[in-house]
Amino acid sequence: MNGYAFSFAGAALVALPTGALYWPDRALLIVSDLHLGKSERLARRGGALLPPYESRETLTRLSDDLDRTRARSLIALGDSFDDLTAAASLDDSDVMTLARLMAGRDWTWVEGNHDAGSHALGGSHRGEVALGPLTCRHVPGGQAPEIAGHYHPKARLGGTSRSCFLIDATRIIMPAYGAYTGGLYCDDTVLVTLMQPDAIAVLTGAQAIPCPMPRIMPKPGGHPFKLR
């Protein structure tokens, strides 16, 4: 799988190059920040007009990860939809794809800041999920050890930037899984504050590449997007 295998709070986990986290002993796949329906929400609110294919691309990648890992359970760590109207406005083909992926699996939607509340697409809806000593939630900064998302961390390597996992002894911050998501460089103050000095970044792409978490602050205005 070209993943990065590591131990976290006693759990043997694999950071996949796609941005998903796999827990083999539980046959569990964890993803965060799919932001399905983003192009629809932007168009609805008078924003940029983007090709409306991001949901299909994201779900295709998710289908491949589920097939490859044979995961029997999935936890989506919030902001799975760009808002609840976007969830209700997915194309029929995307709804059918989701239904196929969810069939026969224990599927949990954790609420995020974009999609707080329930929707009609099945699965269970939770504020957070406890898995033994671990807690899965959307926004990091709660009781540790935790697996969270929200910040869409990115890092630079060889002149290019990639989405990345941030990992230390008590916290994992997941990369955004969605096709139309921006990111926050991991040397930003909020991420430097959240992560311990020995934290690593695991970059996504053709393979998962671990490296020390960059901590040099970028120049003002260097971030590719602003959280909202």
Please report the pLDDT score of residue 49 as a whole number.
42
- A 10 A CB-CB count for 2 gives 12
Q: Which residue has the higher pLDDT, 48 or 105?
A: 105
User: pLDDT tens digits, residue range 1-35?
Assistant: 689 999 999 999 999 999 999 999 999 999 999 98
Please report the pLDDT score of residue 74 as a whole number.
98
Please report the pLDDT score of residue 40 as a whole number.
54
* Best CA proximity match to 58, nearest among 90, 89, 26: 90
Calpha distance 45→38 (Å, rounded): 11
Mean pLDDT (the chain, rounded): 85
User: Per CATH, the architecture of 4-212 is what?
Assistant: 4-Layer Sandwich (3.60)
b (16+ CB within 10 A) / e for 186-201: bbbeebbebbeeebbb
Write the single-letter amino acid at 137. Answer: R
Please report the pLDDT score of residue 89 as a whole number.
65
Q: Which residue has the higher pLDDT, 1 or 123?
A: 123
SS3 for the chain is CCCEEEEECCEEEEECCCCCEEEHHHCEEEECCCCECHHHHHHHCCCCCCCCCHHHHHHHHHHHHHHHHCCCEEEECCCCECCHHHHHCCCHHHHHHHHHHHCCCEEEEECCCCCCCCCCCCCEEECCEEECCEEECCCCCCCCCEEECCCCEEEEECCEEEEEEEECCCEEECCCCCCCCCCEECCCHHHHHHCCCCCEEEECCCCCEEEECCCCCCCCCCCCCCCC
Q: Which residue has the higher pLDDT, 5 or 79?
A: 5
Please report the pLDDT score of residue 28 as a whole number.
98
pLDDT bucket at 56, cuts 50 / 70 / 90: confident
Burial class (CB in 10 A: 0-12, 13-18, 19+), 136: buried
Please report the pLDDT score of residue 216 as a whole number.
75
Summarize the confidence of residues 137-148 as an average pLDDT. Answer: 94
Residue spans of the domains in the chain: they are 4-212
User: pLDDT tens digits, residue range 82-116?
Assistant: 666 666 667 888 889 999 999 999 999 998 886 65
